[in-house]
């Protein structure tokens, strides 16, 4: 799953609201559209972006399409963020000075003896 698609999908307030609605359970496209003051094609566009990022899954039931959260992708994103935080913690504390990032003074980087 390309991470850039996930962040693109999450960058929009309407799509974040759709994800929040789906936390409560599966919803049809029509049920989702009822909560917004926009056209159904606009809602469909938002749902397609969420699908491309694999944040939601869709299943056809009769004439309706129901959407649900794909929690696996959220777990992958959380794992990715955790790895970034974990890696930065292992390297010691960093500080930004004059636009350059460097290790703070007095932090043992394991290189000096």
Tell whether the model's pLDDT for residue 104 goes beyond 60: no
Distance CA 100, CA 36 (A): 45
Domains and CATH numbers, the chain: 3-72 (1.10.10.10)
11 by DSSP, 3-state: which?
Answer: coil
Contact 56, 69 (CB under 8 A): yes
Sorted by sequence, the CB contacts under 8 Å of residue 30 that are 6+ apart come out as 40, 64
Q: List residues bridging with 27 in a β-sheet.
A: 67
Instruction: Give the predicted TM-score (pTM) of the model.
Output: 0.72
What's the pLDDT tens digit per position in 30-79? Answer: 999 999 999 999 999 999 999 999 999 999 999 999 999 999 998 998 88
pLDDT grade for 113, boundaries at 50, 70 and 90? very low
pLDDT in tens, 5-37: 999 999 999 999 999 999 999 999 999 999 999
């Amino acid at each position: 799953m390309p991470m850039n698609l996930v962040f693109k999908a999450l960058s929009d307030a309407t799509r974040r609201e759709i994800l929040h609605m789906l936390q409560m359970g599966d919803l049809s496209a029509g049920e989702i559209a009822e909560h917004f003051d926009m056209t159904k094609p606009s809602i469909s566009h938002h749902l397609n972006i969420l699908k491309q990022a694999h944040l939601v899954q869709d299943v056809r039931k009769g004439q309706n399409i129901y959407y649900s959260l794909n929690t696996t992708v959220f777990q992958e994103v959380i794992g990715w963020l955790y790895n970034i935080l974990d890696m930065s913690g292992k390297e010691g504390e960093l500080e930004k000075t004059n636009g350059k990032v460097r290790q703070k003074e007095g932090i043992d980087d394991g290189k000096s003896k």
